[in-house]
Amino acid sequence: MKIEKTDLIGDVLDRYPQLAVYFFEIGMHCLGCPHSRGESIEEACEVHGTDVDGLLEKLNAAVAD
């Protein structure tokens, strides 16, 4: 299942907990906070000044292996 920018971070991590490292790499250290449960990948990237397309490439490549 392809990860999309509209997916909630919490939902993605429920399915693929090993992807947390990619969020940590770009400064998203609050993955366990309640806010991340309702925040999309796109919203988080905007807040953290990160390219959403670049992150999605990494995430989807990691789960494709």
Average model confidence (pLDDT) across the chain: 89
User: Residue 17 carries which DSSP code?
Assistant: G
Contact 19, 39 (CB under 8 A): no
35 pLDDT above the threshold of 80 = no
Predicted pLDDT of residue 56: 97
Predicted pLDDT of residue 61: 97
pTM of the model: 0.87
| Domain residue limits, the chain | 9-64
| pLDDT tens track for 3-29 | 999 999 999 999 999 999 998 888 887
Predicted pLDDT of residue 12: 93
Predicted pLDDT of residue 37: 78
Contact 54, 22 (CB under 8 A): no
